[in-house]
A and B are shown apart, each in its own frame.
Chain A
Amino acid sequence: MTTLDAKIPEGPLAEKWDNHKFSVKLVNPANKRRFDVIVVGTGLAGASAAASLAELGYNVKVFTYHDSPRRAHSIAAQGGINAAKNYRNDGDSIYRLFYDTVKGGDYRSREANVYRLAQVSNDIIDQCAAQGVPFAREYGGLLANRSFGGAQVSRTFYARGQTGQQLLLGAYQALAAQIAVGKVTLYNRSDVLDIVTKDGEATGIVTRDMLTGEVSAHSGHAVVLATGGYGNVYYLSTNAMQCNVSASWRAHRKGALFANPCYTQIHPTCIPAADDFQSKLTLMSESLRNDGRIWVPRNLDEARAADQIPEEERYYYLEEKYPAFGNLVPRDVASRNAKTVVDEGHGIGPRKNGVYLDFAAARARDGVEAVKERYGNLFDMYERITGEDPYSVPMRIYPATHYTMGGLWVDYNLMTTVPGLYALGEANFSDHGANRLGASALMQGLADGYFVLPYTIGDHLAPKLGDSPVPTDDTVFTEAVNAVNDRTRRWMDVKGTHGVEHYHRELGKIVWEHCGMARNEAGLKKALSEIPALRDEFRKNVKVLGSPDGINTMLEKVNRVDDFMELAELKVRDALHRSESCGGHFREESQTPEGEALRDDENFAYVGAWEWNGDNVEPTLHKEHLEFEYVKLTQRSYK
């Protein structure tokens, strides 16, 4: 029986992290070279962790399925990164960033973790500036800030609309420096297919070389997963095509609890799907809602073009329902309302699957040039994708899956329930509760990698001084390699009728329909019967062509979709058990008379962490109760 001990340090909130840093065991600088650490993933969390650990002296092996460590999907983050610098003198503080993050997460995150995140946020900005990240500057040469995602202070640092790219390049460059001096060994185009444990502790991984097909084992004193989120369980999302849950899921099957898989963030301003071949969705920055007005035609089955519809026949549903916040309501509220009007039949565009985001008022008020200066890049991108000119017609937008708050359960040290196995960044569940604030994902990924793991990993490693890593010819490794080879052979032998893509798309439809923006008991129960049926059909009837000995993109994908099939079931199960609404999880049964998300703090103020019990066996739910000593629980209201 696994017991959840979050290992939150004693003492007042503001002193916990300092106390903890003092109390964790240290590895002597000369001894660090006697430890091997495996890092999986080279996004913000993975690259920053690998570089920082190597700088300390650890031997690091880093794995990515990309051709280069610079390509991870952190690169696509547009908006910015939060920090409590208070450079604008507008009343920001570590405490305020902490408070906003706990509240924004709808009171489903750990106070101690979030406070630490706010504390180290300032160090991140210092670190990135020193590395040469070209943050936006004021004329005096000091750093610029903007307000983001409805925050009441300007605490977001940014590099044009490419903040994620620039922060990732900073971490990638730091990693490159360590690769050059031989402290990091890079394994590119390597797919991690299993996590290996011995006597309950993490000892390594099994990888497939995506060029040669060779399956091999890698051993280390600790394994760090920084492998991102599981948004592609929906098939269509703003994630990159290769984003997958496999490393996390394989860890889950080896004993790591998976926390809050039902928490998914749906971003309100994405470009709607254009046809049945749509492969992914593209996010348009949230900043567009600062000047764009969202509306749909009041008439169902409206056939006129947008500019032919008179003002009184337009339904500005956010402005009408939420006069105080209007078009700037939080992401989940904006998303749900878009779904409601489209479901009612007000949808616009050739597929009636979007709502208008209209800049006519902003153009009339501020002029075309001002609009162009603010949003020129985004308008160009929109035109490239849709072929429509947003300077003359309103944009069409619709919500899409964007970020997953759930992930592997970790304690305050970022260690999973498997000793020696760590999870960082979007792959863990720890800091965002049930909803993530804008510009906080980059902050958390870098906090975990630069400033948390390098301190906490010593606590696990120090007692192992002198121990060699488990050799890769140990039976735990040879058995794991054999299991991976068996799994590959099974896929090659199916010789079914449908490609992998077909099944991924079908899975996405089920999960989006029943476990998307709004969920209810009947739908979730339906999904809970449909997913295993689809999974069985997939395993019996999927077609994988070619050879496992060499590049085989179908084989890569079949493993990932297989893992998504299992994760999808757990996600639905979690959504079903959590009969309250909170943050990104909206249960139709639990809403206020005005239709807002209604939390049930008495029964659900806990982290739901699931334990794998084997194939076709129900998982066990463990609860980590959340204590709120500093932040008072209140119902969010945006009226």
Chain B
Amino acid sequence: MTRMLNLKLRIWRQNGPDSEGAFLDIDADDIPEDASFLEMLDVVNERLISDDIEPVTFDHDCREGICGTCGVMINGQAHGPEKATATCQLHMRKFNDGDEITIEPWQAASFPVLKDLMVDRRALDRIVEAGGYISAPTGTAPDANEIAVPKEVAETSMDAAACIGCAACIAACPNSAGQLFTAAKLAHLNVLPQGQPERWKRTEAMVETMESFFGACTNHGECHEACPKEIPLDFIAMMNRDYVRSKVKNRSLASQ
């Protein structure tokens, strides 16, 4: 028989970026333990609607842990208590009957709250637009096997490319630093042979765009702890080294 939970929720409600917010205290009774965290919120919302109260707004989509759309602070932890798990993949069996659960939006100066638990993460797209690509206009590519990529390199690239862009790393960081996200994007491209021609330009532009939005990294490592894909911290070291080199490389390339 499925265990049912009775929970005490504190959910952040805020009408818009410029409104005052406040916690809504609500009892969520009879929640099946097999429900996902977002399904628990669905149930709460359906009950609110039947009481003519507007449902709680939160971002979500694939509910398979891959699209990166969802993410809330659960008892102060980005994506909640289970390691390597996005909010949509967290299930209520990880909680106990009678638990109090505080649910808040991501908090960072560059992530204004749009409504309730939904925030604006467009800063991440701006970082990618600054150089997070390999310029290969459609139709220009040589045969795929003309560019050999050592297996280890492809694996490292994939480790970095696994980032889902959810921004938990930034939400978890006491400085709201964007290092893990930016480093993952850079490493994905910078380790590949195809990524070399634009490596230094990419690194300089993306790091500086990141700095215009987010705080400084002071090596707490909270980002890695919160990351649903467990992106390694090593990529930040790789980014820092590349950034220093980019300052020299970009100038010497320009003088060639």
Contact = CB atoms under 8 A, between A and B. Distances in A.
A440 to B, nearest CB: 18
B121 A76 contact: no
A470 interface: no
B136 A130 contact: yes
Nearest to A51: B138
Contacts of A75: 62, 66-67
Contacts, number: 219
Interface stretch (A31-39, A133-141, A218-226, A596-604): A133-141
B133 A176 contact: yes
Given A130-B147, A176-B128, A71 B68 contact: yes
A149 interface: no
B161 to A, nearest CB: 5
Contacts of A68: 121-122, 124-125, 165
A131 to B, nearest CB: 5
Contact of A279 (B38, B147, B155): B38
A317 B150 CA distance: 44
Interface stretch (A326-334, A522-530, A549-557): A549-557
Interface stretch (B72-80, B172-180, B189-197, B218-226): B189-197
A427 interface: no
A450 B137 CA distance: 10
Given A162-B162, A211-B114, A277-B39, A134 B188 contact: yes
A129 B144 contact: yes
Contacts of A499: 46, 49-50
B54 to A, nearest CB: 5
Nearest to B163: A169
Given A141-B148, A241-B63, A499-B50, A130 B134 contact: yes
A137 B42 CA distance: 42
Interface string B52-89: 11110101111111111100000000000010010001
B22 interface: no
A126 interface: yes
A543 B49 contact: yes
A79 to B, nearest CB: 13
Nearest to B162: A162
B158 A165 contact: no
A131 B155 CA distance: 16
A179 B129 contact: yes
Interface in B88-129: 89, 91, 93, 114-115, 118, 120-122, 124-125, 128-129
A553 B57 contact: yes
B151 A139 contact: yes
A127 B124 CA distance: 25
Interface string A112-142: 0000000000010111111110111111111
Contacts of A489: none
A138 B128 CA distance: 29
B203 to A, nearest CB: 14
A69 B142 CA distance: 27
Contacts of A123: 139, 141
A52 interface: yes
Contact of B34 (A177, A274, A283): A274
A462 interface: no
B212 interface: no
Contact of A67 (B43, B53, B121, B155): B121
Contacts of A69: 125
A87 B145 contact: yes
A75 B195 CA distance: 22
B182 interface: no
Interface of A: 48, 51-52, 55, 66-73, 75-76, 85, 87, 123, 125-132, 134-143, 159-160, 162, 165-166, 169, 172-174, 176-177, 179-180, 186, 188, 211, 240-242, 274-275, 277-280, 282-283, 350, 381, 384-387, 450-451, 454, 499, 501-502, 543, 545-546, 550-551, 553-554
Given A385-B91, A546-B54, 16 more contacts: A52-B138, A75-B66, A130-B194, A141-B150, A160-B158, A160-B162, A165-B66, A173-B133, A174-B136, A179-B125, A240-B62, A275-B35, A282-B64, A384-B91, A545-B52, A551-B118
- Shortest Cβ-Cβ A-B pairs, 3 listed: A141-B148, A173-B133, A130-B141
14 contacts: A52-B137, A55-B137, A69-B125, A128-B144, A136-B154, A159-B161, A165-B161, A173-B133, A174-B138, A179-B125, A275-B35, A282-B64, A501-B46, A545-B55
Interface of B: 1-2, 15-16, 32-36, 38-39, 42-43, 46, 49-50, 52-55, 57, 59-69, 82, 85, 89, 91, 93, 114-115, 118, 120-122, 124-125, 128-130, 132-145, 147-151, 154-155, 157-158, 161-162, 164-165, 188-189, 192, 194-195
